[in-house]
Amino acid sequence: MSLDSATQVLAVRHGETDWNLAGRIQGHSDIGLNERGLWQAQRLADALADEVLAAIYCSDLSRAVQTAQPLAQRLGLPLRCDKGLRERSFGAFEGLHWAEIAAQWPEQSERWHRRDPLFAADGGESLQELHARVLSTAELLAKNHPGQQILLLAHGGVMDTLFRHATHAALDVSRSWELGHARINRLLRSDEGWRVIAWGDGRHLES
């Protein structure tokens, strides 16, 4: 594999929001960062200030944009927002807690929890649809930067999709890897496919 044509990809989930803290499903709901999330964004900028990035791509949702802004300003790079990097749409589930969903739609909740790849809440996306959207977007963005390094600032569902694809984990396999807020994940995209270099680095968030 030639590193001259490979793309190094930093993939980062947005910082914390109040809905994260309360356990509410966000999806496409446009929720901004809370105080801790804003602190995480600054710490992320500090951690990546010496990285050489060709581009910063982010979801167009506020929590992702707010997380990416401090680093973009530090490096003097524009933010390139892409709807393809949005979180999975959860439709009618958005804004609700897990217990409320289980009580109102027990059968749908069960399909969701066992990661049925074809299940989608009313007005939302299935795992298959999320997988196809995220990978199509990530492939296109990575291919535009051969031999360079880029940042994808997005959401937990996007991080999960990239990890599963790079490690060949099935969509319905229970997750054993972390999707922490503002943690740094490193992947490599080449003509041979995607692979994980390092995952879940949160040393910048320890203080």
Active site residues: 14, 87
3-state secondary structure of 22: helix
Token readout for 27 is 């999806």
Residues 6+ apart with CB under 8 A from 113: none
Residues 6+ apart with CB under 8 A from 15: 33, 36, 37, 38, 39, 40, 41, 44, 63, 66, 67, 181, 182
Please, are residues 189 and 9 in contact by the beta-carbon 8 Å criterion?
yes
CA distance to 50, 72, 91, per residue, from 10 (Å): 13, 14, 29
Please, are residues 149 and 53 in contact by the beta-carbon 8 Å criterion?
yes
- In whole angstroms, give the CA distance from residue 42 to residue 67: 8
Judged by phi (left if over 0) then psi (alpha if -120 to 50, else beta), residue 147 lies in left
Residues recorded for the chain = 207
